[in-house]
Amino acid sequence: MKRLGVVGAGAWGTALAHTACRSGLEVCLWAHEPETAAAINEAHENKPFLPGLPLDPALQATTDLARVCDADAVLLTTPAQVLRTVCQNLAPHWTAGVPAVICSKGIETATGALMTQVVTESLLHAPIAVLSGPSFAGEVARGLPTAVTLACADEALGQTIAEALGNPAFRTYWSTDVIGAQLGGSVKNVLAIACGIVEGRGMGDNARAALVTRGLAEMSRLAVALGARPETLMGLSGLGDLVLTANAMQSRNFSFGVQLGQGQTVQQILDSRTAVTEGVHTAAAVAALAEQLAIDLPICQAADAVLNRGADLNATITALLSRPLTKE
């Protein structure tokens, strides 16, 4: 595997493209905006998303979908809610047999579909893999040590992709549990918003630790109901990603929760941001899945009530803390 396409020139896509250059791959990055592609090619910088970080001069950016698909594998890094549209646009240019590596974290709100389902329905002849784990884009781009999961049902293909992407600062561990890798990366965004609310409300470290622990149980419960292996949720794409995202202001989801806990409204926070906060959308999808599968996910359902249904934050917190005590 020598040539890599990356679809999406946000912070995550740019960071992955940059680190793939470090791994010795020939990388083409697709950007929606011509000015972004031009800046990456000419100034070797993506100012809107990774300001001040020099990009590998070998990294080539384009607005041509056909060009980014001319690769041995393609990483898909666009926001989860637009991934279906992006894949439909990619489909005419896709070569059968070229792997699609999903790096987007979320669940499609309109359908409840996981990202693998979304991509499979559009790219009919693409083997599917999922890249997930604790990985802030800025740290990956700066070459700070990072470890992630590369999940693929075809273990040999997964190992090939993992070895191609990996380098000493970007450790890729392969797995065959595609469902578990996706659910961990999706649900942790909802839990991170909840943890941010705890921080913004000044509820203390004990409360955050309790929320992370009980939230991990909810994540595992949902993932196993959908066919995942429980041990996957104890790995990088589950516990690892949750620990990172639920404890740092670098996290868009955690910082969103902090602002919400400090008294701003959901709409005020959304209006102040240009980057997508996936947990807001994922909360609705997770709550819908919980209802469909008759699974009790009180933290995720409470987050959805506050984020998407206008529930009062104080009343919701009181209701959670007043739930009957039960066996762990």
pLDDT band (50, 70, 90) for residue 274: confident
Which 3 state secondary structure label does DSSP give 185?
helix
Confirm if 93 and 100 have CB atoms less than 8 A apart.
no
Q: How many CB atoms lie within 10 A of CB 273?
A: 12
CA atoms within 13 A on the CB side of 239: 10
Q: Read off the pLDDT of each residue in 132-140 and give the average, rounded to a whole number.
A: 97
Q: What is the pLDDT of residue 275?
A: 83
pLDDT band (50, 70, 90) for residue 24: very high
Q: What is the pLDDT of residue 172?
A: 98
Phi and psi (nearest 5°) for 197? -60, -45
3-176 placed in CATH 3.40.50.720: yes
Q: What is the pLDDT of residue 328?
A: 86
Q: Give the pTM.
A: 0.95
Q: Read off the pLDDT of each residue in 17-26 and give the average, rounded to a whole number.
A: 98
pLDDT of 129 above 90 = yes
Q: Read off the pLDDT of each residue in 238-258 and give the average, rounded to a whole number.
A: 96
Amino acid in position 188: K
Q: What is the pLDDT of residue 135?
A: 97
Distance CA 236, CA 134 (A): 6
Q: What is the pLDDT of residue 49?
A: 94
Rounded percentage of the chain residues whose pLDDT exceeds 70: 100
Write down the architecture of domain 180-321 according to CATH: Orthogonal Bundle (1.10)
Domains 3-176 and 180-321 share a fold: no
327 noted as active-site residue? no
pLDDT digit string, tens, across residues 187-212: 999 999 999 999 999 999 999 999 99
Domains of the chain, residue spans? 3-176, 180-321
Amino acid in position 28: C
pLDDT digit string, tens, across residues 163-173: 999 999 999 99
Amino acid in position 150: L
Q: What is the DSSP string of 91-152?
A: GGGPPTTPPEEE----B-TTT--BHHHHHHHHSTT--EEEEESS--HHHHHTT--EEEEEEE
Q: Among residues 100, 77, 62, which one has the least CA distance to residue 12?
A: 77
Q: Among residues 324, 308, 298, which one has the least CA distance to residue 222?
A: 298
Q: Catalytic: which of 2, 105, 188, 327?
A: 188
Query: CA separation (Å) from 93 to 100, 123, 126, 138?
Result: 13, 10, 12, 30
pLDDT of 110 above 90 = yes
pLDDT band (50, 70, 90) for residue 46: very high
Q: Read off the pLDDT of each residue in 205-227 and give the average, rounded to a whole number.
A: 97
Q: Read off the pLDDT of each residue in 240-257 and give the average, rounded to a whole number.
A: 96
Q: Find where tokens 């670098």 sit.
A: 250
